[in-house]
Amino acid sequence: MKKKILLTLTGVFLVLLPFLIGNAIGKYSPYVETNSFKGFVIIWAIISIALAATAFLLLKYVAQSFESISIGGAFLFLLASPIVGIFGLVSPPDLTLNMLEHPEREHLRYLYLFFATLLFIIFILFLYRSNFLKLKKLTRWVITVALILAFAEFIWEFTHHYFYPEALKDWVNQGKNAEAFGKSYDNMTCIDIGVFGRLIQYSLIIWLSIHLYQFRQINILSPIILSILSLLGIVSATAIYITEMNLPKGFELSFLFFIPGMPFLLLYWLGIGLLTKPGKSEIAA
């Protein structure tokens, strides 16, 4: 019982960890003109190494297993690294002409998201390699296609936004109005692709969390929370599609679930669930 309580407290602390660290390093954000871009990256790299060591300790002393599912959970836990980096920026993307003075800031933001996508891919590969999911042939094909589409949308979206500064520079050099660039570059077609991606990504998180619970790899609370948040993401994406980004006043919070980092935050929490789920012997203790 004591171990179970300790694991629960550890899980709660780890849920909050990216926010705590991100807030702490926010004062070094490169969006503050007096701060060094290189300095922020070095601080983030040191924190990422510490997070990797934490993942190893969780595997060794908490999960007490180096099986594929546990190692996969460790890779989801490492999503804390890019999440910390994004939170540490403490600023939304600068879509004004000021972006051209520091395009590396926006590049860094999407490099973090590329890194997060890579970690998610590695997690899925561990699951497939071990055949842990035990999927029937048809289900396996459906999930595989859904995963490919989810990854493809992530990669397209992050590439699209990574090159936003370069596209803005070309637009301005052509003598066009800089204020009109945003709607041209991030047009409704781009938004619709993002909506499609979120619908698939959140649906996969719901399926994955429930499926892992069925194999008793996570506690019941994990799929409940992740499913509720994912459903909010699906509703938000649908509302954004219907209203064409013109959400009614008071519903602006829906945009929070549409940002590309939100699915990775939910996957990070899933990783915590995998690494802190006590076995039967531990619960009995």
Are residues 258 and 240 in contact, defined by beta-carbon separation less than 8 angstroms?
A: yes
CA torsion, ordered 50, 112, 208, 271, to nearest 10 deg = 10
Instruction: Please determine, for residue 234, whether its predicted confidence score (pLDDT) is greater than 90.
Output: yes
Distance CA 216, CA 213 (A): 5
Mean pLDDT of the chain: 90
Rounded to the nearest 5 percent, the helix, strand and coil shares of the chain are 80, 0, 20
106-156 confidence digits (pLDDT tens): 999 999 999 999 999 999 998 888 777 778 888 889 999 999 999 999 999
| Joined tokens for residue 218 | 């996570």
Please give the Cα distance from 80 to 119 (Å, whole number).
10
pLDDT digit string, tens, across residues 20-43:
999 999 999 999 989 999 999 999
Residues in the chain, how many?
285
pTM of the entire structure? 0.93
Q: At a CB cut-off of 8 Å and minimum separation 6, what does 5 contact?
A: none
CA distances from 157 to 120, 160, 189, 204 (A): 16, 5, 12, 18
